[in-house]
Chains A and B, each alone.
Chain A
Amino acid sequence: MAQRLSMAVGSAFKALSNPSREDMVAALGEVTGTLALQRMRTRMATDATGRRLLRERPVINTSTVSLSELRALPKHTLGRAYVSFLDIEGVSPDTRTPVKHMDDTDDELKYVMLRYRQVHDFFHVLTGMGTTLEEEIAVKWFELAQTGLPVALLSGVFGPLRLNSSDRKLLFTEHVPWLVQCGSSSKFLMNVYYEECMHLPIADVRQQMGIFLPPGFVPKDALIQD
């Protein structure tokens, strides 16, 4: 326990001083978030789709999802928006750190953590946010409202310290109020079977999930070229 605690504290400091240490952010999430994870699991277990996910445990990676098929989808679809996000950011679903610091006994909880990591990219896609530092922090606030994971709180609170003052102003006057409201009023995004929604128009998915965009805001998917 003491060892886990010092690992949590250590990774908190490292994550703050160096945002590229993704493995450290991940470790932080795992050891601090068990209770919040339990709560996420409970919300999944009380929803029809969430239960199906827990039972089937689908994994999003390049062997289960064909990126080239997604690239061939019409540009207004969720799948196309997702793959274009991956392409622009130069990331792949495979680059997400596997879950390794958690107790071995509860495979389902490990799966919830893994799924949470994997659907993180969909949080960006659905909110239309890129991955600049201030967008990343804004999405953390959305996640915090959705999941209550402490790592989201830490990044949401401490992350902005590293922004310059005009970015910080934009973050707190525009992005954060919208995304916090959006995150708490929309449906729980862990209860979505994204694999089955790829071909759907992203506008429909947003509407179904209760995600609204502020007036004048241009989501990243609106910039996709044919």
Chain B
Amino acid sequence: MNHRITQAFDVCIVGGGIVGTALAASLSSSPFTAHLKVALVEAGNLYSEPEIRPASFSNRVASVTPASMRLLNRIGAWDRIPADRKKAYTQMKVWDASGNGAIAFNAPMTHSASSIGWIIENDWLKSSLAQSLSSSVTVFNSSVVAGIESPAGSGSDWPVISVNSDKGNGPTIQLKSRLLVGADGVNSLVRKYAGIESIGWDYPQKAVAATLEIEGVEGNRNDVAYQRFLPTGPIALLPLAENKSSLVWSASPAIAAKLLSLSAEDFAIFVDVAFRNPIEDLTYLLSRIQPDGSLPKDLDLKAEAVWGQTRLETANTFKIGVPPSNTSLPRVVGVAEKSRAAFPLRFYLSDRYVSDHRVALVGDAAHTVHPLAGQGLNLGLLDVATLTNVIEEGVQAGADIGNIHTLQGYAAERFAPNLGMMMAIDSIGKLFRAESDPVVWARSFGLNLVNTLPGFKNLAMKAASTL
């Protein structure tokens, strides 16, 4: 190593994803912590330009809860996101494709917030946060943390972080930090350094994401989020703009591959079928997709879809798979070019969030969940809010912010709620994948019960969005 530069920081954040960048921005904007020297190391490009063309949207979006919004607002990032890139939604309709359970949530039933949440592109979240960083944050952009060591016998226990800067073309820089934060995602290097175990699994599912063009939205405002639980995994439609919505469709890797291979036109029809038709239509039509993504000549996809949609009403003694009453689903009329992509889905849980290596984990590095409840990022932002508070208090009390005793406060506050939410999300996913009759009856009964009891629904809503 020819150029070896060593710099010292109060906080070194590895990973400039949304969560890591939010932590850096949060620390730099708080009057109690703005004086701390913060390093933010990101392997990719922190300053990549988000999409600005009005009708174009990235396929990676997140539903942001009111609690997350408050954090973004405090940091100063919220107002940097243009109004037309944060789509408020006021209703959420959820139903079961193989039972007759259905539930509708309305914003006014939740706290004081007028929206259940906002759908925002990941790129916009990241860029608004990156712009909010003040000069107390040193950004190592396009720089990879290659290794972390605890210095032996030097009298200091601060971890030493080796950074290959500038895509590996620049010098290797060594950082020493009082506190090391792992915001480096599901395969966290910081977690390994700290000796923290992570348990979990990859779901036998992938999420197909896409940006869709839609027509005939309810109330003409496109402010309803829809989710239908198919036995192969949930499918969700999230509003982006008046005639655009984002799709997240979880399914087996085999089905996901088929969906990606379809022509854009056929894909749009399949999305409609997944939301509107009896479940056997989807099963049948998926079975007819050829390995090259084409459909056999003797199959009239459009006609099959239309016929099946009438069957959902007329040939359905037990009202199986029917959306909540007064729902008029928007119709999918197109898919944005190149917007289709599949993402792996995982459940990982770190057994601790902090260690006496001066380490704290936040975001996906600490916990990775299935997107069915739209909570992954929101849990990460709550981590940021809590860790900021704990560091603020530590600074005010004159404590060592890298010390495990200080950090324990963060772990104590976040571990149990995150775990609870993770287990709830995982069991909802499992519950809806089950197809045995008693399970289907029980969950239909449960959903319908929740739907008719306002108190229950409020509680569920609070837990889901404003935790």
- The answer to whether A38 touches B317, judged by C-beta atoms less than 8 angstroms apart, is yes
B283 close to A (CB within 8 Å): yes
Is B307 in contact with A108, judged by CB distance below 8 angstroms? no
Shortest 6 CB-CB contacts between residues of A and residues of B: A108-B315, A45-B280, A46-B284, A106-B317, A46-B280, A42-B280
Residues of A within 8 A of B318 (CB): 38
Q: How far is the CB of A55 from chain B (nearest CB, A)?
A: 6
Contact bitstring B230-267, A, C-beta under 8 A = 1, else 0:
00000000000000000000000000000000000000
Contact B287 A108 (CB under 8 A): no
A118 nearest CB across to chain B (Å): 19
Check B284–A45 contact: CB distance below 8 A. Answer: yes
Q: Can you give 20 A-B contacts (C-beta < 8 A)?
A: A38-B317, A38-B318, A41-B315, A45-B278, A45-B281, A46-B284, A46-B287, A48-B284, A48-B288, A48-B298, A48-B299, A51-B284, A51-B304, A103-B317, A106-B316, A107-B314, A107-B315, A108-B311, A108-B314, A109-B317
- Structural contact, A55 and B283, CB atoms closer than 8 A: no
Within 8 A of A (CB), among B273-314: 278, 280-281, 283-284, 287-288, 298-299, 304, 307-308, 311, 314
B299: chain A residues within 8 A (beta carbon)? 48
With both beta carbons as reference points, the residue of chain B lying nearest to A112 in the complex is identified as B315
A130 to chain B, nearest CB (A): 36
B437 to chain A, nearest CB (A): 8
What is the interface size of chain A, counting residues whose CB is below 8 A from a CB of the partner?
17
* A46–B281 alpha-carbon span in the complex (Å): 6
| Residue in B278, B284, B307 whose Cβ sees the most chain A Cβ within 10 Å | B284
Distance in Å: Cβ of B231 to nearest Cβ of chain A: 12
A164 contacts the other chain (CB 8 A) = no
Name the B residues within 8 Å of A55 (CB-CB): 307
List, in ascending order, chain A residues with CB within 8 A of B281's CB.
45
* Chain A residues within 8 Å of B298, by CB: 48
In this complex, what residue of B is CB-closest to A111? B315
Return the CB mask of A33-62 against B: 1 if under 8 Å, else 0: 010001001100111100100110000000
Task: Kindly list chain A residues whose C-beta atoms are within 8 Å of the C-beta of B314.
Answer: 106-108
Whether a CB of chain B sits under 8 angstroms from the CB of A64 is no
Chain A minimum-CB-distance residue to B281? A45
Complex interface: chain A residues within 8 A of B288 (CB): 48
List the B side residues contacting A107 at CB < 8 Å.
Answer: 314-315
Q: Which chain B residues have a beta carbon within 8 Å of chain A's beta carbons?
A: 278, 280-281, 283-284, 287-288, 298-299, 304, 307-308, 311, 314-318
Contacting residues, chain B, for A34 (C-beta < 8 A): 317
B278, B284, B304, B317 — which one has the most chain A CB atoms within 10 A of its CB?
Answer: B317
Contact among A46, A47, A48, A109 for B315, CB-based, below 8 A: A109
Contact A46 B283 (CB under 8 A): yes
- Looking at A34, A46, A109, the one whose CB has the most chain B CB atoms below 10 A away is A46
- In the docked arrangement, what's the CA distance between A185 and B316, Å? 29
Interface hub of A38, A45, A54, A107 (most chain B Cβ within 10 A)? A45
Give bound CA distance, A195 to B279, whole Å: 28
Give the Cβ gap from B305 to chain A, nearest Cβ, in Å.
12
Nearest A-chain residue to B287, judged by Cβ? A46
Give the docked Cα–Cα distance between A94 and B37 (Å): 90
Task: Name A's B-contacting residues (CB within 8 A).
Answer: 34, 38, 41-42, 45-48, 51, 54-55, 103, 105-109
Bound together, the chains give a CA A121 to CA B258 distance in angstroms of: 40
CA distance A38 to B440 in the complex (A): 15
CA distance A38 to B307 in the complex (A): 18
The answer for the CA separation of A155 and B307 in the assembled complex, in Å, is 36
Instruction: Please tell me if the beta carbons of B317 and A47 are within 8 angstroms of each other in the complex.
Output: no
- Shortest A103–chain B CB gap in Å is 6
Q: How far is the CA of A223 from the CA of B371 in the complex (A)?
A: 65
Residues of A with C-beta under 8 A to B278: 45
Beyond the given pairs A48-B298, A48-B299, A108-B315, 6 more chain A to chain B contacts, judged by CB atoms under 8 angstroms and listed by A's residue number, are: A42-B280, A46-B284, A46-B287, A54-B311, A107-B315, A108-B311
A50 vs chain B, min Cβ distance (A):
9
Q: Which residues of A contact B304 (CB under 8 A)?
A: 51
- A119, B82: Cα distance in complex, Å: 64
Q: Which residues of A contact B280 (CB under 8 A)?
A: 42, 45-46
The complex places the Cα of A106 from the Cα of B278 at a distance, in Å, of 14
Q: Which residues of A contact B316 (CB under 8 A)?
A: 106
Residues from chain B with Cβ under 8 Å of A54 in the complex: 311, 315
Nearest-neighbour CB distance to chain A for B284, whole angstroms, equals: 4
Q: What chain A residues lie within 8 Å of B317 (beta carbons)?
A: 34, 38, 103, 105-106, 109
> Bound complex: CA of A54 vs CA of B316, how far in Å?
13
B283: nearest chain-A partner, CB-CB: A46
Whole-angstrom CA separation of A148 from B177 in the bound complex: 69
| Minimal Cβ-Cβ distance residue in A for B307 | A55
CA distance A46 to B317 in the complex (A): 18
Q: Kindly provide the distance from the CB of B294 to the nearest chain A CB, expressed in whole angstroms.
A: 16
| Docked CA distance A46–B308 (Å) | 11
CB nearest to B280 among chain A residues = A45
Q: How far is the CA of A107 from the CA of B316 in the complex (A)?
A: 10
Inter-chain contacts of A51 with B (CB < 8 A): 284, 304, 307
Bound CA span A167–B284, Å:
43
- Tell me the smallest distance from the CB of B432 to a CB of chain A, in Å: 18
Shortest CB-to-CB span from B321 to chain A, Å, is 12
Cα–Cα distance between A208 and B318 once the two chains are bound (Å): 35
Which B residues are in CB contact (< 8 Å) with A105?
Answer: 317
A106 contacts which chain B residues (CB < 8 A)? 314-317
User: Which residue of chain B is the closest to A108 with respect to CB atoms?
Assistant: B315
Task: Return the chain A residue nearest B299 by Cβ.
Answer: A48
Whether the Cβ atoms of A47 and B284 lie closer than 8 Å is yes
CB distance from A58 to the nearest CB of B (A): 16
Q: Cα distance A103–B317 when bound, in Å?
A: 9
Q: Closest chain B residue to A44 by CB distance? A: B280
A36–B382 alpha-carbon span in the complex (Å):
49
Inter-chain contacts of A47 with B (CB < 8 A): 284
**A45→B310 CA distance, assembly (Å):** 13
With a cutoff of 8 Å between Cβ atoms, the chain B residues found around residue A103 in the complex are 317
Chain B residue at minimum C-beta to C-beta distance from A103: B317
- Please, how many angstroms separate the alpha-carbon atoms of A209 and B203 in the complex? 38
Q: Considering the chains assembled together, what is the distance between the CA atoms of A45 and B314 in angstroms?
A: 14
